[in-house]
Amino acid sequence: MVGQSLGTSFPDAGDPQTPSDVAVVMPTVLRASITAAVESVFRQDLDGRIQVLIGVDAPGQAPPELLALIARRPARVSVILLQLPYSTSIRHGGVHQATDGGSLRSLLTFMANSRHVAYLDDDNSWTPEHLSGLLAAVQGKAWAYSLRMLVEAASGRELGIDRWDSVGPGRGRFAAQGGFVDPNCLLIDKLIALRTLARWSQGPGMQSDRAFFDAIRLGQHGHVPRATARYAVRPGNNVFATLMAQGVEF
C-alpha cells in the first residue's frame, strides 16, 4: 500500500510552533489568477509573520508557476498547501453545501496557527497595506473589515469602490438583512468566532458568506475606511448586474 501526501509545508524563518501574527486562508479551484492573488499576500507591508493556508478544491496538481512563486516567498511568510484526494463541495460530489470550496474555509481556519485570520479568493487580490490596516483595526475586537475596489477581471481596470454590497453592518442594499461584508475584506479573531466557523460550509454560493457575516455582525468590530481589497468583476458574478444598473461600461 502506497501512502499519499495530502499537504506540503513551506516554512518561514521562525519557530513553526510559535503562532503567526496573521493567517490568510485561500480556498482555490486553481484558477490561473491564483499566482497574482498569492503574490499580493507576499507584498504585504505588515511587519510580522504571515501564514498562508491554500486549500485546493479541484483535481490536478498545483501549477508550476504557483510552486515557483511559493519558493520565492519572503522570509516572514510560511505556506501550507493542502489538497485532499476528494472534494468536500457538493459542486464536485462532496457532502458540504458550499459550492466555493466546500468545507475548506472552515477547515483551514481551524488549522491556522494564528488567532487572527483573513480570507482571500483565488481571483482577487489585496493592496500592500491590507493586512496591516486590518490587524491594527481588529485589536480588542471580534473582527474588522475594509472596503473593496471593484476591478474588471479581464483588464484589471478599476471600476470604482463598492458602495452597494460590501459596506458593513446595517448598510447598503442588504441593510434590512443586517448588511454584508465580503470575505475578501474580513479579518476575524477566530477564538471569538469559534462557534460560527462551520457557517462557512453550510450553503451554496453566497449563502454561506451571508450566514457567517450574520453570525458575527453584532460583535465589536473595527473598520478600515479604504478600499484595500481588489474584487474581480466578470459577467455572471454577484455585483455585475449592480454595476450595469449604475451605467458602468464593460
**pLDDT at residue 58, rounded to an integer:** 79
In which residue are the cell numbers 477564538 written? Answer: 191
pLDDT at residue 147 above 80? yes
Tens digits of per-residue pLDDT, 131-146?
A: 999 999 999 999 999 9
Mean of per-residue pLDDT scores for the chain: 90
**Is the whole-model pTM more than 0.85?**
yes
Tens digits of per-residue pLDDT, 94-113?
A: 777 676 777 899 999 999 99
pLDDT at residue 245 above 80? no
Tens digits of per-residue pLDDT, 157-180?
A: 999 999 999 999 999 999 999 999
Residues 191-213 have a mean pLDDT of 87
pLDDT at residue 4 above 70? no
What are the cell numbers at 34? 491564483
Tens digits of per-residue pLDDT, 28-66?
A: 988 999 999 999 999 999 999 999 999 998 777 888 999
Residues 227-247 have a mean pLDDT of 77
- The 8 Å CB, 24+ separation contacts for 160-166 are 160/248, 161/227, 162/227, 162/231, 162/239, 164/239, 164/242, 165/238, 165/239, 165/242, 166/231
Please provide residue 122's backbone torsions phi and psi, each rounded to the nearest 5 degrees: -80, 0
In terms of CATH, what superfamily is 7-245? Spore Coat Polysaccharide Biosynthesis Protein SpsA; Chain A (3.90.550.10)
